[in-house]
């Protein structure tokens, strides 16, 4: 209610200011009857357009160059490098269009400003010109569409058979990570089984869930395709890994996935950047509530050997939580609801699913 | 005139009822004429004249002023969250008197931050740029430019405003709720918006958002049906579709887009209300939240996004097309040249309208939608660059070899073209599914749409207000203040949104309360300060306009009948047209609206009402045939 009062007070103040201004300086400006005059102000505006074009263009070019390195964070995935190339090629294409059209717009505004005694050129249409400037953009667009489509099909296509699999689950407000364990098979999870200990909702009546382990950070091997399966257990989230050019929503009730191949280990990247504190990061990129801006997960890219060692050293969830395991011993195996069963059936024998939705 | 029946529109009567051919000098018309001079306004109670008016011009003014109030609120909200983004460490205790418990130990509450961005988006997109822009100018210009006494149904038109007003009241009220207004982003994706346990804004605030939006959609449909009917049925003699000013084409197509797409948002909102209040599962499935597993099964949050964007994408064209129409008109008038490629301009508007319905899923490339769909939508999305490009080239060709007068409206029209180019081109990046993987939901997107549909639509709005102010209020706005307003705003917009692209290319996510938690997103702290300062200054520059607007209504210089030497019909009405627009007969139309600087003609413009028989010296061969 106080807020409403203050809004009203502000409105009143504005009115008071309005009255004051009316009484004072500006009365003179508005007196007299209106006559159109195309005088000084017309050429002042025309010159300002040129000033804006030159000054604004110079400022833009300078600040763009100045910030170029900052806007190009390091890239560490195979498709990321390809995307980067496509991004800057597209930027160059639209940059050409940008410079030509803006320059013409401001130049014409200046050049064809009103002059006494000159008459505008009556030029209502020209079909040849229309066709030309329809076809040229269409051809350029066709090329961009084709390149984009090729890359998109490759990136979203099936993950290679040898991919490493892990699962990331979003929740308000952090990420949970699990790996399939020794059997290379992610076990069944069920959101109805979630509680404070069993955050993933492991269904431990499923054999392949027994050796699944959870982790506080993501480890992936360098040079090997990684398939991230993505879930959410409450609202929408999005897995966003800017260094790897990876982004995919986490949707409750609809598992999604994204695969990529890391090219640089964390240590290599630290050395390359001269920043011993550098870490790859995973951020949430779909508004999910109060803690949205703080859903950070560390990603570590290891040499394949280190990755193997790390993987082997992890203890499974069931091993770490014997009481949870014990509670499942008393439950019938059929308690997993139909939805989870269907999903289990859909998982192919190999740990790596294809990308077909 | 019958004073007991204020709801009966004398204008429509005088015209001979809806859909009738305009009558020649009749008793009614004479009476109306007579009325204007002798006892002006004596027969109408102020309540019917200024509040529950059925006069399209009054309704337009109501839309405009309500829209301006909303724009000030929307701008204030953005200044608040820019404070947070520019100075994440600063103490904001001084805002406590305004924001109360939303300032928490000197810091903005993160949930309130999300409420700010949500309400900023909702207010600007729907209440300012849809109602305030299209509502104002479709209402004001359609009857005046097609030569009608009023809208097809003045009563429905009045309802359209009052539904908008009701919707505004509900939305405004929601700002003062204890739990805050809706906070799930202006796109209100469920489950976040569906579950009050997910965030406080998804409680009563979200309910009010949905109620307000339902009322808003009713308002849009009432308005839209009216616009379409008026353009089709109430054109004056000789006003064929190929003689309509481009403004009318733009409003006409915009109204059709609205009629076809807003009901889909209505259905999405309805289903969301069901999910929220009646336990259905359209958008909910497999959810464990706040220590509890919900029983909802089988719904799809992605379904909501399809429904939302089926409106949401045409919506951006609903916002931008009226601006395109007005800019075309103002560019031609002030360059003293016919708009280049009149038919190509209409064709590209139709092309954009059609395409706008088949591109919605480009907002959803990375939502887990089938990648094949992504390919199809990338293809359709990038095609839209072609008609958009045609429009830009035609505008440039219109300026070429013109004789340009820089009225404030003309400055904003040129500014519009510049912003539309800058913002439109980055759409080619975002429409590419591959590149969108990285750019989705980053500040690159924010910069893109603020330029191409936010700022440029605002420029279209300013352009329209400066240009048609004399017809709206019978006075001129101050030109010098208009120039100052333009240059401050033009520079401000570029200073805000160009650097925002850099931040976006670096991958900064939108709707983040602070980026300080991430190493990847911490390199642009200075740039964010810069953007915040520019944004707040640009916002304050708008008060030059607000002052100019309200001052000129009462104290501006008196306008003449046709201050811009324009060809279209609205400038043949008296300086302050009464209800019914023309005191006598509605003029007939003989030519297209862009006969500027025609060779052989003495004046540098020939109004649409001048028959070819009077302009033998300037007629083109095919026009001469009409005379012979």
Q: How confident is the model at residue A116 (pLDDT cuts 50, 70, 90)?
A: confident
Q: Cβ contacts of residue A197 below 8 Å, gap of 6+?
A: A321, A323, A324
How many structural domains is chain B composed of? 4
Does residue A78 form part of some domain? yes
A285 CA: distance to closest CA in chain B (Å): 6
Q: Is B393 at the interface with chain A, CB within 8 A? A: yes
- Inter-chain residue contact A123 with B298, CB threshold 8 Å: no
Q: Which of B438, B491, B550, B595 to mutate to test the interface with A (most CBs of A within 10 A)?
A: B438
Task: Count CB atoms within 10 A of the CB of residue B541.
Answer: 18
Looking at residue A6, its pLDDT comes to 56
Looking at residue B273, its pLDDT comes to 95
Task: Count CB atoms within 10 A of the CB of residue A300.
Answer: 18
Cβ contact B69:B165 at 8 Å: no
Averaged over B73-90, what is the pLDDT?
A: 94
Using CB atoms and an 8 Å cut-off, which of residues 229-248 of chain B contact chain A?
none
Alpha carbons B124 and B117: distance in angstroms, whole number? 11
Kindly state whether residues A192 and A270 are assigned to the same domain: yes
pLDDT of A24 above 50: no
**What angle, 0 to 180 degrees and rounded to 10, lies between the N-to-C axes of helices B342-356 and B385-399?**
150
Using CB atoms and an 8 Å cut-off, which of residues 206-225 of chain A contact chain B?
none
* Bridge partners for A262 per DSSP: A77
Cβ contact B28:B13 at 8 Å: yes
Full 3-state SS string of chain A: CHHHHHHHHHHHHHHHHHHHHHHCHHHCCCCCCCCCCCCHHHHHHHHHHHHHHHHHHHHHHHHHHHCCCCCCCCCCEHHHHHHHHHHHHHHHHHHHHHHHHHHHHHHHHHHCECCCCCCCCCCCCCHHHHHHHHHHHHHHHHHHHHHHHHHHHHHHCCCCCCCEEEEEEEECCEEEEEECCCCCCCCCECHHHCCCCCCCCECCCCHHHCCCEEECCEEEECCCCEEEEEEECCCCEEEEEHHHCEEEEEEECECEEEEECECCCHHHHHHHHCCCCCCEEEEECCCCCCCHHHCCEEEEEECHHHHHHHHHHCCCHHHHCHHHHHHHHCCCHHHCCHHHHHHHHHCCCCCCCCCCC
Tell me which residue in B400, B513, B560 faces A108 most closely, judged by beta carbons.
B400
Does residue A21 form part of some domain? no
- Inter-chain residue contact A41 with B479, CB threshold 8 Å: yes
Alpha carbons B74 and B81: distance in angstroms, whole number? 11
Does residue B310 form part of some domain? yes
Looking at residue B324, its pLDDT comes to 97
Does residue A357 form part of some domain? no
A137 CA: distance to closest CA in chain B (Å): 6
Q: Is B563 at the interface with chain A, CB within 8 A? A: yes
| Distances, alpha carbon A169 to alpha carbons A237, B67, B286, B618, in Å | 9, 43, 13, 74
Alpha carbons B196 and B180: distance in angstroms, whole number? 12
Averaged over B412-423, what is the pLDDT?
A: 97
Averaged over B3-7, what is the pLDDT?
A: 40
Higher pLDDT, B153 or B12: B153
Does residue B174 form part of some domain? yes
Looking at residue B28, its pLDDT comes to 43
Beta strand extents in B42-116 (DSSP E only): 103-104, 107-108
Q: Cβ contacts of residue B474 below 8 Å, gap of 6+?
A: B558, B559, B575, B576
- In chain A, which residue's Cα lies nearest the Cα of B553? A30
Averaged over B352-368, what is the pLDDT?
A: 94
**Neighboring chain B residues of A230 at a CB cutoff of 8 Å:** 368
Q: How confident is the model at residue B50 (pLDDT cuts 50, 70, 90)?
A: confident
Averaged over B27-44, what is the pLDDT?
A: 47
pLDDT of B493 above 90: yes
Kindly state whether residues B611 and B501 are assigned to the same domain: no
Q: What digits encode the pLDDT tens for the residues A42-65?
A: 888 999 999 999 999 999 999 999
Q: Cβ contacts of residue A33 below 8 Å, gap of 6+?
A: B557, B558
Cβ contact B171:B164 at 8 Å: no
Averaged over B331-336, what is the pLDDT?
A: 96
Does residue A26 form part of some domain? no
Looking at residue B2, its pLDDT comes to 40
B383 CA: distance to closest CA in chain A (Å): 7
Cβ contact A224:A163 at 8 Å: yes
Report the first-to-last Cα separation within chain A, whole angstroms: 51
Q: Pick the last residue of a domain from B381, B406, B431.
A: B406
Looking at residue A18, its pLDDT comes to 56
Averaged over B286-310, what is the pLDDT?
A: 94
A177 CA: distance to closest CA in chain B (Å): 17
- Inter-chain residue contact B287 with A246, CB threshold 8 Å: no
- Inter-chain residue contact B517 with A22, CB threshold 8 Å: no
Averaged over B122-138, what is the pLDDT?
A: 95
**Neighboring chain A residues of B169 at a CB cutoff of 8 Å:** none
Kindly state whether residues A226 and A200 are assigned to the same domain: yes
- A65-99: burial string, b at 16+ Cβ within 10 Å, e else: eebeeebebebbbbbbebbeebbeebbebbeebbe
Tell me which residue in B111, B286, B551 faces A191 most closely, judged by beta carbons.
B286
**Neighboring chain A residues of B98 at a CB cutoff of 8 Å:** 3, 6
Q: Pick the last residue of a domain from B512, B543, B574.
A: B543
pLDDT of B182 above 80: yes
Kindly state whether residues A201 and A134 are assigned to the same domain: no
Kindly state whether residues A224 and A263 are assigned to the same domain: yes
Averaged over B390-411, what is the pLDDT?
A: 96
Kindly state whether residues A56 and A101 are assigned to the same domain: yes
Kindly state whether residues A233 and A252 are assigned to the same domain: yes
Q: How confident is the model at residue B4 (pLDDT cuts 50, 70, 90)?
A: very low
**Neighboring chain B residues of A34 at a CB cutoff of 8 Å:** 475-476, 556-560, 563
* 3-state SS, residue B442: strand
Q: How many interface pairs between A and B have CB atoms less than 8 angstroms apart?
A: 383
pLDDT of A347 above 50: no
Kindly state whether residues A288 and A241 are assigned to the same domain: yes
Kindly state whether residues B159 and B89 are assigned to the same domain: yes
Cβ contact B433:B378 at 8 Å: yes
Tell me which residue in A27, A123, A156 faces B371 most closely, judged by beta carbons.
A156
pLDDT, mean over chain B: 91
Kindly state whether residues A177 and A298 are assigned to the same domain: yes
Q: From the CA atom positions of chain A, what is the Rg in Å?
A: 31
pLDDT of B34 above 50: no
Read off the tokens for B599: 């060779």
B555 CA: distance to closest CA in chain A (Å): 6
pLDDT of A33 above 70: no
Looking at residue B5, its pLDDT comes to 38
Which residues span the domain enclosing B188?
Answer: 55-282+298-330
- A262-277: burial string, b at 16+ Cβ within 10 Å, e else: bbbbbbebeeeeeeee
**Neighboring chain B residues of A252 at a CB cutoff of 8 Å:** 191, 284-287, 301
The yes/no answer to whether this complex scores an ipTM above 0.95 is no
- In chain B, which residue's Cα lies nearest the Cα of A280? B520
Closest CA to A286 of A253, A250, A251, A237: A237
**Neighboring chain A residues of B425 at a CB cutoff of 8 Å:** 94, 97-98
Tell me which residue in B293, B506, B507 faces A194 most closely, judged by beta carbons.
B293
Q: Which of B118, B276, B286 to mutate to test the interface with A (most CBs of A within 10 A)?
A: B286
- In chain B, which residue's Cα lies nearest the Cα of A298? B518
B1 CA: distance to closest CA in chain A (Å): 34
Residue B373 class from Cβ within 10 Å (0-12 exposed, 13-18 middle, 19+ buried)?
middle
Does residue A207 form part of some domain? yes
| Distances, alpha carbon B422 to alpha carbons A94, A99, A351, B267, in Å | 9, 10, 47, 35
Q: Pairing relation of β-strands A297-302 and A218-221?
A: parallel
Does residue A36 form part of some domain? no
Q: Which of A108, A238, A266 to mutate to test the interface with B (most CBs of B within 10 A)?
A: A108
Looking at residue B66, its pLDDT comes to 96
Does residue A58 form part of some domain? yes
pLDDT of B334 above 80: yes
Cβ contact A286:A232 at 8 Å: no
Does residue B79 form part of some domain? yes
Averaged over B241-252, what is the pLDDT?
A: 96
- Inter-chain residue contact A251 with B301, CB threshold 8 Å: yes
Looking at residue B15, its pLDDT comes to 46
Q: How confident is the model at residue B593 (pLDDT cuts 50, 70, 90)?
A: very high
Q: Pairing relation of β-strands A218-221 and B292-293?
A: unpaired
- Inter-chain residue contact B366 with A292, CB threshold 8 Å: no
Q: Pick the last residue of a domain from B543, B572, B594.
A: B543
Looking at residue A21, its pLDDT comes to 47
Q: Is A85 at the interface with chain B, CB within 8 A? A: no
| Distances, alpha carbon A152 to alpha carbons A286, B83, B137, B250, B383, in Å | 21, 38, 42, 35, 17
Q: Cβ contacts of residue B242 below 8 Å, gap of 6+?
A: B343, B592
Kindly state whether residues A314 and A253 are assigned to the same domain: yes
Looking at residue A4, its pLDDT comes to 62
Alpha carbons B386 and B377: distance in angstroms, whole number? 15
Kindly state whether residues B309 and B370 are assigned to the same domain: no
Q: What digits encode the pLDDT tens for the residues A81-90?
A: 999 999 999 9
Kindly state whether residues B515 and B399 are assigned to the same domain: no
Does residue B416 form part of some domain? no
Looking at residue B129, its pLDDT comes to 96
Kindly state whether residues B449 and B514 are assigned to the same domain: yes
Higher pLDDT, A338 or A68: A68
pLDDT of B10 above 80: no
Read off the tokens for A205: 């009546």
Kindly state whether residues B583 and B536 are assigned to the same domain: no
- Inter-chain residue contact A149 with B335, CB threshold 8 Å: no
Does residue B177 form part of some domain? yes
- Inter-chain residue contact B386 with A288, CB threshold 8 Å: no
Q: What is the CATH number of the domain that holds B85?
A: 1.20.210.10
Tell me which residue in A45, A63, A155 faces B406 most closely, judged by beta carbons.
A45
How many structural domains is chain A composed of? 2
Looking at residue B45, its pLDDT comes to 80
Alpha carbons B525 and A234: distance in angstroms, whole number? 32
Kindly state whether residues B63 and B111 are assigned to the same domain: yes
Does residue B77 form part of some domain? yes
Kindly state whether residues A143 and A250 are assigned to the same domain: no
Averaged over B523-544, what is the pLDDT?
A: 93
pLDDT, mean over chain A: 86
Lowest model confidence (mean pLDDT) among B23-37, B92-106, B487-501: B23-37
Cβ contact A178:A218 at 8 Å: no
Cβ contact A170:A255 at 8 Å: no
Q: Is A2 at the interface with chain B, CB within 8 A? A: yes
Looking at residue B482, its pLDDT comes to 94
**Neighboring chain B residues of A157 at a CB cutoff of 8 Å:** 371
- In chain A, which residue's Cα lies nearest the Cα of B598? A122
Q: What is the CATH number of the domain that holds A321?
A: 2.60.40.420
Lowest model confidence (mean pLDDT) among A271-285, B84-98, B321-335: B84-98
**Neighboring chain B residues of A27 at a CB cutoff of 8 Å:** 555
| Angle value at C-alpha A331, between A327 and A336, nearest 5 degrees | 110
pLDDT of B7 above 50: no
B385 CA: distance to closest CA in chain A (Å): 8
Which residues span the domain enclosing A135?
Answer: 42-113+127-156
Kindly state whether residues B483 and B499 are assigned to the same domain: yes
Q: How confident is the model at residue B48 (pLDDT cuts 50, 70, 90)?
A: confident
Residue bearing tokens 């947070």 = B84
Residue bearing tokens 């079909």 = A127
Kindly state whether residues B269 and B149 are assigned to the same domain: yes
Looking at residue A332, its pLDDT comes to 62
Kindly state whether residues B146 and B256 are assigned to the same domain: yes
Kindly state whether residues A189 and A47 are assigned to the same domain: no
Report the first-to-last Cα separation within chain B, whole angstroms: 44
Beta strand extents in B215-319 (DSSP E only): 288-289, 292-293
φ, ψ of residue A140 to 5 degrees: the values are -60, -45
- Inter-chain residue contact A114 with B367, CB threshold 8 Å: no
Kindly state whether residues A321 and A228 are assigned to the same domain: yes
Alpha carbons B594 and B614: distance in angstroms, whole number? 17
Does residue B515 form part of some domain? yes
- Inter-chain residue contact B371 with A289, CB threshold 8 Å: no
- Inter-chain residue contact B366 with A90, CB threshold 8 Å: no
* Bridge partners for A87 per DSSP: none
Q: Is A175 at the interface with chain B, CB within 8 A? A: no
**Dihedral of the CA atoms B290, B296, B300, B305 (nearest 10)?**
-60
Kindly state whether residues B321 and B342 are assigned to the same domain: no
Write B23-31 long-range contacts (CB < 8 A, 24+): B23/B585, B24/B585, B25/B584, B25/B585, B29/B583, B29/B584, B29/B585, B30/B584, B31/B1
Averaged over A131-135, what is the pLDDT?
A: 94
pLDDT of A127 above 80: yes
Kindly state whether residues B194 and B275 are assigned to the same domain: yes
């Amino acid at each position: 209610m106080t807020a409403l009062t203050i809004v009203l007070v502000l409105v009143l103040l504005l009115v008071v200011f309005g009255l004051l201004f009316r009484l004072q300086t500006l009365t003179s400006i508005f007196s007299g009857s209106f006559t159109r005059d195309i005088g000084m102000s017309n050429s002042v505006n025309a010159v300002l357009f040129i000033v804006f074009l030159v000054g604004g263009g110079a400022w833009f070019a300078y600040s763009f160059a100045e910030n170029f390195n900052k806007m190009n964070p390091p890239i560490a995935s195979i498709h990321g490098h390809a995307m980067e190339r496509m991004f800057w090629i597209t930027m160059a294409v639209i940059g050409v269009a940008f410079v030509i059209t803006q320059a013409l717009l401001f130049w014409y505004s200046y050049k064809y400003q009103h002059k006494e005694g000159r008459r505008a050129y009556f030029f209502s249409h020209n079909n040849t010109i229309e066709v030309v400037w329809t076809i040229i953009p269409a051809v350029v667009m066709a090329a961009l569409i084709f390149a984009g489509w090729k890359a998109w099909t490759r990136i979203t296509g099936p993950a290679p058979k040898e991919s490493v699999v892990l699962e990331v689950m979003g929740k308000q407000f952090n990420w949970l990570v699990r790996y399939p364990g020794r059997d290379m098979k992610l076990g069944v999870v069920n959101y109805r089984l979630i509680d404070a200990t069993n955050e993933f909702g492991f269904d431990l009546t499923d054999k392949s869930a027994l050796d699944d382990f959870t982790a506080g950070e993501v480890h992936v091997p360098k040079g090997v395709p990684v398939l991230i399966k993505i879930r959410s257990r409450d609202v929408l989230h999005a897995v966003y890994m800017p260094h790897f050019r990876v982004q995919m929503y986490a949707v409750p009730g609809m598992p999604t996935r994204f695969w990529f191949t890391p090219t640089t280990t964390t240590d290599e990247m630290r050395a390359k950047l001269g920043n011993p504190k550098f870490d790859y990061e995973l951020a949430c990129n779909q508004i999910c509530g109060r803690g949205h801006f703080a859903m950070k997960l560390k990603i570590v890219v290891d040499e394949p050997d280190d990755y193997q060692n790390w993987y082997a050293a992890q203890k499974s969830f069931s091993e770490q939580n014997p009481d949870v395991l014990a509670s499942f011993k008393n439950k019938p195996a059929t308690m997993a609801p139909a939805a989870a069963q269907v999903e289990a059936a859909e998982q192919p024998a190999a740990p790596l699913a294809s990308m077909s939705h | 005139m019958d004073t007991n029946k204020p709801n009966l529109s004398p204008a429509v009567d005088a015209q001979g009822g809806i859909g009738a051919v305009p009558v020649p000098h009749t008793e009614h018309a004479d009476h109306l004429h007579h009325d204007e001079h002798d006892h002006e306004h004596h027969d109408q109670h102020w309540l019917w004249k200024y509040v529950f008016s059925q006069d399209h011009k009054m309704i337009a003014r109501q839309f405009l002023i309500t829209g301006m109030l909303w724009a000030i609120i929307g701008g204030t909200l953005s200044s608040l969250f820019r404070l947070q983004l520019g100075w994440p460490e600063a103490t904001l205790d001084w805002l406590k008197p305004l924001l109360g418990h939303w300032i928490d130990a000197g810091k903005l509450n993160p949930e309130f931050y999300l409420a700010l961005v949500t309400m900023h988006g909702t207010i600007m997109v729907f209440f300012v740029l849809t109602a305030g822009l299209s509502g104002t100018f479709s209402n004001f210009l359609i009857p005046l430019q097609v030569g009608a006494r009023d809208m097809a149904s003045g009563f429905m038109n009045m309802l359209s405003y009052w539904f908008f007003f009701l919707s505004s009241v509900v939305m405004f009220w929601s700002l003062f709720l204890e739990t805050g207004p809706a906070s799930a982003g202006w796109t209100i994706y469920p489950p976040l918006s569906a579950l009050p346990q997910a965030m406080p804004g998804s409680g009563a605030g979200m309910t009010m958002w949905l109620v307000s939006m339902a009322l808003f959609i009713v308002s849009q449909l009432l308005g839209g049906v009216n616009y379409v009917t008026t353009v089709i049925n109430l054109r004056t003699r000789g006003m064929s579709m190929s003689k309509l000013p481009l403004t009318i084409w733009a409003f006409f197509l915009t109204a059709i887009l609205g009629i076809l797409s807003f009901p889909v948002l209505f259905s999405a909102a309805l289903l969301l209300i069901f999910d929220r209040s009646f336990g259905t599962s359209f958008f909910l499935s497999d959810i464990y939240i706040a220590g509890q597993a919900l029983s909802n099964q089988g719904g799809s949050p992605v379904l909501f996004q399809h429904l939302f964007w089926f409106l949401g994408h045409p919506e951006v064209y609903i916002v931008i097309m009226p601006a395109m129409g007005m800019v075309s008109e103002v560019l031609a008038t002030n360059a003293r040249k016919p708009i280049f490629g009149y038919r190509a301009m209409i064709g590209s508007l139709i092309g954009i309208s059609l395409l706008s319905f088949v591109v919605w899923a480009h907002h959803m490339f990375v939502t887990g939608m089938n990648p094949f769909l992504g390919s199809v939508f990338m293809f359709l999305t990038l095609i839209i660059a072609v008609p958009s490009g045609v429009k830009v080239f035609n505008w440039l060709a219109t300026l070429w070899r013109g004789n340009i007068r820089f009225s404030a409206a003309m400055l904003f029209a040129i500014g519009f073209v510049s912003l539309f180019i800058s913002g439109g081109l980055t759409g080619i990046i975002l429409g590419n599914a591959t590149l969108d993987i990285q750019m989705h939901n980053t500040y690159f997107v924010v910069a893109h749409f603020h330029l191409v549909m936010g700022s440029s639509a605002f420029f279209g709005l300013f352009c329209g207000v400066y240009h048609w102010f004399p017809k709206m209020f019978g006075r001129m706005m101050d030109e010098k203040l208009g120039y100052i307003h333009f240059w401050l705003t033009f520079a401000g917009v570029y200073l805000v949104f160009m650097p925002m692209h850099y931040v976006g290319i670096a991958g900064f996510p939108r709707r983040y309360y602070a980026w300080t938690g991430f190493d990847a997103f911490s390199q642009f702290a200075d740039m964010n300060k810069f953007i915040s300062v520019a944004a707040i200054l640009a916002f304050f520059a708008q008060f030059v306009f607000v002052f100019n607007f309200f001052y000129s209504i009462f104290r501006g210089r008196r306008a003449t009948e046709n201050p811009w030497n324009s060809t279209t019909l609205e400038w043949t009405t008296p300086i302050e047209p009464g209800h019914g627009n023309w005191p006598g007969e509605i003029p007939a139309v003989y030519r297209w609206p862009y006969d500027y600087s025609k060779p052989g003609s003495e004046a540098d413009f020939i109004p649409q009402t001048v028959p070819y028989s009077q302009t033998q010296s300037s007629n083109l061969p095919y026009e001469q045939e009409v005379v012979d």
